[in-house]
Each structure stands twice: as structure tokens, then as C-alpha cells.
Amino acid sequence: MTASRASTGRRDFMIAPGGRLTGRLPVPGDKSISHRALILAALAEGVTRIDGFLDSADCRATLTALQTLGITIELGSDASVTVHGGGTSELRAPAQPLDCGNSGTSMRLLAGMLAGQPFSATLSGDDSLRRRPMERVVKPLQRMGARIESLDGCAPLTVHGRQPLKPLRYALPVASAQVKSALLLAGLFAEGETWLREPAATRDHTERMLTAFGGECLQVEGWIGIRGGNRLRATPIQVPGDLSSAAFFLVGAAIATHAHLVLEDVGVNPTRTGIISLLRAMGADIRFHGEHLRGVEPVADIEVRASQLHGIHINPENVPLAIDELPVLLVAAACADGVTTLRGAAELRVKESDRLQSMATGLRMLGVGVETWEDGMQVTGSGTFTGGTVDAAGDHRIAMAFAMAGLRATAPIHIRDCRNVDTSFPGFARTARAAGLAIDSVEDAP
């Protein structure tokens, strides 16, 4: 498993109109689980093998940061990673800043881990990451006793750790699995119990994986707790296929004129399946086959067929369990009969791009009627897309969402600035082309 040399030029996608999605399709390993597996394996005593690891730019950022902190990690040629953990006391001060690239997950989770260390470390990243808000994780970590310096609430973050941290009882003001996970990691280094309450349920991979590593993660009356001093022990981890990556093909098959696709071995954790529920509410024909547990995560083959969709109202309570998939769901909305409204999704404005603005601008460029609000938008289904040029704004999920629009386009679609697709779905264009999407990837585009 080796990283290819990065090109400094722009990558664009060119999508010819039409195409169909058929056959059986694997999707890459789950990005959220891959990050968490690396970090918890580094903190565990013993050797952990991670199978199905997502070798993407984002996950590489976490892996490289842990190596800089003194953890030995070996990458296999079969999507496996071996982590030689030394327990919670074996990390060492880094000689240089830790580069998180474009990965907000890396920065927030590593900040939680570093808060409990007896040394200082700086977390930085690319221009996009340095614009994303970090105060939501900085403030509660400061309440636990860490001293954290930021640039007006954004990266770079310099974390001056403390041992032991003070325990925390904290109601998260915003539903965020990354902030929750960062505080649970910090709680491992606290003197006493740390308790967290979410305003809405978010993905629970950290809680499940802590249990797999022998940690005691408590849940009482809506509060999630962790005891400081938990000893983690190495355990094999199997990473399922990423439902967020599968979502592009779920929508693509649902909106295509002719499609019958099976996505293999995809994680169907109930805290991630909001996209499935919303697509089914729109009329999508989606079925699970062979559901079973892979380690602590439920997995299934997902079958989807071309469907007649209709507009729906997406309420604020629907948003946290489908936050990463909402851009491609808006593409489905453009192909549905009637109107779809989305509210309570202001969080999309502080992702890798302002995703509400990026989607609204792109949909309008392709002939779709859109009305926007600060926390959402209304999409009037038109059934088809005109051709045109869309700017992905360097956002992987915007690029892949508009790629699927080609299935219902009347003319070619040109998607600019798609290189960051590698942060979550390396080889996306190749995989999509094999499934039947008429896509070309243009390297070093002018």
C-alpha cells in the first residue's frame, strides 16, 4: 500500500450525459472508522491489525501524525495496517507540527488525544482546514485543563497537554461526532469520569470501538461517559465499506433511467443510515441483504434499483444522521417530482466548503430551481439537468455529488477542482466508470 506522487495541478471531471449503473460494486473502507481505529490502536497495549483500512489522504494524515508521535505503523499491500501500540503513556513530543492536510477528523480527534499528554504539539493543515471552526473542541478541552492556542478559533492549534486532565460534564451545543470523540479520547486521560450529552444522536463508532478495545464506555439516560485510566488492549479491527461513499452510487442508481446495483459489504450502523431512510422516504427501492456484524459494526450488501422519486421535507432532526450525504441527496431532489426542503443544516456551511452555497450554485448552473436560506434550501425537481460547468470548490463530496448528475443530464457536465476526492474515495472515477457512469478524469486541468 503506497501513496502515489501527488500532482500539483488541478483535476477536473468530465461527465457525458446518460449512462447506467449496473453490477456489483465494492466501496472503499469507512473513513470515520479508519481514523478511530488508528488512534485507539495507538493508545492500546499490543499489536492491532486493521483490515479494510481506507488508504486515503485524510486517513494518511492521521497515520503520519501518529508515526511522528512515536507509534510504529506498518502498511500492508492488502488494505491492512498493523499498529504497534504502547498504551496511553508511550506517545512522545513531535519534532515538527503535525500536518492534518484537509482532515477535520484528524485535527479534532488528535486534539483530544494530545490534551492528555505531558508535552506540547501543534496541529496544522491546508488552507481549507485552517478556515474551519475549532473552538467547539478547543473550549471543552480547555475546561478539562489543557492549554490550547489557536488563531481566532481556527488552526493551527498548539496543544499544551496536562496529566491528569480534569473530568468534564458537558452538553455539546452542536451535534458533532468529531467533538464527542475528541472529548471521549481526552476522558481516557482524566482523573475521574467524563460525561457528555448530545443535542441529537451522531455516529457512535468511537463508543463501539472503545468497547472493542476493552474500554468501558458508559451510557445512562442520554449521557455518554468514559472513566479515566481505562487500559486499552489490542484487538483485530475489520473496517466495513463506507456508507458515505456508497451514498453517491445509491443516489446515482435511484435517479438513473436504468439501474440495478449491489454495493458490497457496506457498514449499516444505525447512526449512519439517515441517507437510506431519506431516500426510501423519497421512494427509492433500496434493500439490505445478508446483514451481519463485522466486529462491532453491522454490515450488509445494499441493493438499489432505478426509482421514481418524489420530494420530501428534511427536518432538522434528520440532519445529524445524514450530514455528509446531504449534498448528493440534493442531486436526488433535483430529479424528484415536486419540491424538497432542507432545514436545520447550517453545519454544511462550515465543512470543506460552504456546501449549501456550493450545491445551490451548481444546481442553478445545471438548470435547477433553488431557493436558499441560512440553514438550508428548497429544490424544485426538474427531472433532468442541463449541461454546464460546476465548481466543486475543492470539496470531495460536492465533486462526487455532481458526477452523479450526469446520469440525468441532457449535455456534458464539467466539474472543476476535484482533486480532493482522494481524501475519501481514491479511484472514484475509475470505480464509477466500471459501474457505467460516463466519466473522465482530466489531470493537471488548465
Q: For residue 317, what is its C-alpha cell? A: 432532526
> Can you give the CATH number for the domain in which 217 is found?
3.65.10.10
Identify the domain boundary among 194, 211, 238: 238
Residue 244 lies in a domain: yes
The pairing of strands 313-314 and 339-342 is: parallel
**Whether residue 176 sits in one domain with residue 253:** no
Task: Give percent of the chain with pLDDT exceeding 70.
Answer: 98
Spot the catalytic one: 324, 395, 417, 422: 324
Residue 5 lies in a domain: no
* Rounded CA separation 208/195 (Å): 16
For the beta sheet containing 313-314, the strands, ordered from the edge strand earlier in sequence to the opposite edge, are 313-314, 339-342, 376-380, 369-373
**Whether residue 273 sits in one domain with residue 211:** no
**Whether residue 181 sits in one domain with residue 44:** yes
Report how many domains make up the chain.
2
**Whether residue 264 sits in one domain with residue 199:** no
pLDDT tens, residue by residue, 231-261: 999 999 999 999 999 999 999 999 999 999 9
Q: Over the chain, what is the mean pLDDT?
A: 95
Identify the domain boundary among 238, 257, 284: 238
Is-catalytic flag, 58?
A: no
Where does the pLDDT of residue 444 fall: very low under 50, low under 70, confident under 90, or very high at 90 and above? confident
Q: Which domain, by its residues, includes 223? A: 31-238
**Whether residue 52 sits in one domain with residue 21:** no
pLDDT at 8: 59
pTM score > 0.85 for this model?
yes
**Whether residue 438 sits in one domain with residue 411:** yes
**Whether residue 110 sits in one domain with residue 89:** yes
Residue 4 lies in a domain: no
Q: Identify which of 439, 446, 37 has the alpha carbon closest to the alpha carbon of residue 213.
A: 37
pLDDT tens, residue by residue, 98-113: 999 999 999 999 999 9
**Whether residue 72 sits in one domain with residue 173:** yes
